[in-house]
Chains A and B, each alone.
Chain A
Amino acid sequence: MKKIAVYRPTTTDEAIRILSSHGSEAAVYAGGTDLLVRLKNRLTQAPAYLVDIKKINDLRYIKEDAGGGVRIGALTKLAEIVESDLIAQKYPMLARAIGMISSPELRNASTIGGDLLQEVWCQYLRGGYSCWRNGGYICYGAIGDNSYYHSAMGGRLCYAVYPGDAATALIPYDATVKLATASGVKELTLEQLVPGDMMVDGRIQSHVVRSNEILTEVVIPAPKPESRTSFEKLRPRGVWDFAMAALALNLHVRNAVVQDARVVFGGIAGRPVRERAVEEFLKGKSVTGDVITQAVALSLAGAAPLKYNAMKIEMAKGLLASGLDSLRT
């Protein structure tokens, strides 16, 4: 493992000051289930300075706000979200999605902030290849085995899939996040947080958080009373594995007619893919067999599979059919 220095700030301000002084050589260390693996894999892009934020006391909570929404501190463990009665009651789809992440052991260690901002799990990056994210100028996933960890929806420079299920499940609830920055608090939607390959501080990453910013909180608005949700995920094994394809649905239904819809695919692109064409199509309709067939035909028009991953698109379309079927009106 490369030699590292660890800081243990006790406030967010102190953490930001330390991060600012080391630039992209430093990284926030919370659950460690991604960061420590990158260090053990001796990746060129792994940080030399870890800013351990676990001593910051006010970032681990799940609480209801005055408007009936819920706020989750970034250091909250995934297991705590899965076990939360408040989350189960208000956002059952989120609890299900997070309960399907990895394994119980890792959910006990991983934080919601870490899950949202995790590095991609492309086997070439993790294997130390000199790719776009690891000091080089090439994407090996675009030409090698791209059956699992790579985008079937095109790419920019890096073709790796964004692996976080939590973001896929939070977008349908119109969740936002707060970032602590040197110039104050920044608020972003989840879609703004993880737009896919971005050049940030001289690096390519899936999210827009700069090297001296800290994700502090996830804010989920109060759920609509007549919403129907579902989350499904296809993966090689029933635990541990990342999604080959995932789908989060949130339909606001009144009198058997869809008033509003959120349709978000995970595991198939460099970002969670919000399928706006299907969302618009579903509005004003009852979810019937015919409507499901048409929605599936309409979906993922921008698919651009690589040599070995066209099945991801078929899987995603299958999830859309079964997900809508489970929410039939």
Chain B
Amino acid sequence: MTGIDAIVFEPIGSLADMSADAAPGTPLHAYDDAAPALAELKSLGVTLIAVSNLPLPELTRFLTASGLSEFFDDTRSSASTTGDPTDALREALAATSIAPDRALYITDTSDGLRAARATGMHGILMMNDPDEAMKLTAHNPAGGIVSLLELPDFVRFVSARHDSPH
């Protein structure tokens, strides 16, 4: 990684938890650290994008209700295109003119990591569940975070490591 211009989130899992046994229509609640982390990322000049397999109205409703919509430069649903998250990621990067290798994709699934790799992005594991995360490291994520609050440090560190003279 040489620098990070954009971060793409799959909101379910990386911005909000949805338990496997939740009833359909159960409202999503954003993690407590989502708003402060996104605000700090914006202050660093990072482009923020939400790409989800939720239908767009539902995604928009979640981001608005959580007070997160103001942070996002682009919001997209794979459900309204081909259904393949890879296509939605490519479209989002094209729409914001971001080079894939300058973007992180935050995900907590193996499909998400595969989609990131297919688009040339850096797939970053959201390590909500330690045991599940340990299994997912077999899919060679480019990195991992435990808390969204680590992302601003992540951005700074990539920049510092790249700028370091040696």
Contact = CB atoms under 8 A, between A and B. Distances in A.
Interface of A: 22-25, 132, 136-140, 142-144, 155-157, 159, 199, 201-204, 211, 306-307
A160 to B, nearest CB: 13
B65 interface: no
Interface string B142-166: 1110100010011011101111111
A144 B141 CA distance: 15
A23 B166 CA distance: 6
B134 A202 contact: no
7 contacts: A23-B164, A23-B165, A24-B165, A137-B124, A138-B143, A140-B137, A155-B146
B160 A137 contact: no
Nearest to B128: A143
Given A137-B158, A139-B144, A143-B144, 19 more contacts: A22-B166, A23-B164, A23-B165, A137-B154, A140-B137, A142-B127, A143-B127, A143-B146, A144-B134, A156-B150, A156-B153, A157-B153, A157-B154, A199-B156, A201-B164, A202-B161, A202-B164, A203-B161, A307-B130
B115 to A, nearest CB: 18
Contacts of A136: 143
B163 A202 contact: yes
A interface SS class? loop
A202 B157 CA distance: 7
A267 B25 CA distance: 46
A193 to B, nearest CB: 20
Contacts of A156: 150, 153
Contact of B157 (A139, A204, A306): A204
B1 interface: yes
A83 to B, nearest CB: 39
B interface SS class? helix
A146 B103 CA distance: 30
Closest 9 CB pairs of A and B: A202-B164, A137-B143, A23-B166, A138-B144, A143-B130, A143-B133, A202-B161, A25-B166, A142-B146
A306 B133 CA distance: 14
A157 B166 contact: no
Interface in B121-137: 124-125, 127, 130-131, 133-134, 137
B141 A157 contact: no
A306 B130 CA distance: 9
Contacts of B160: 199, 202
A280 to B, nearest CB: 28
A225 to B, nearest CB: 45
Contacts of A201: 164
A24 B166 contact: yes
A138 B134 CA distance: 11
Most buried by B among A24, A142, A201: A142
Contacts of B158: 137
Contacts of B154: 137, 157
Contacts of B157: 132, 137, 157, 199, 204
A132 B142 CA distance: 11
Contacts of B131: 143
B150 to A, nearest CB: 6
Nearest to A25: B166
B41 to A, nearest CB: 15
A137 B144 contact: yes
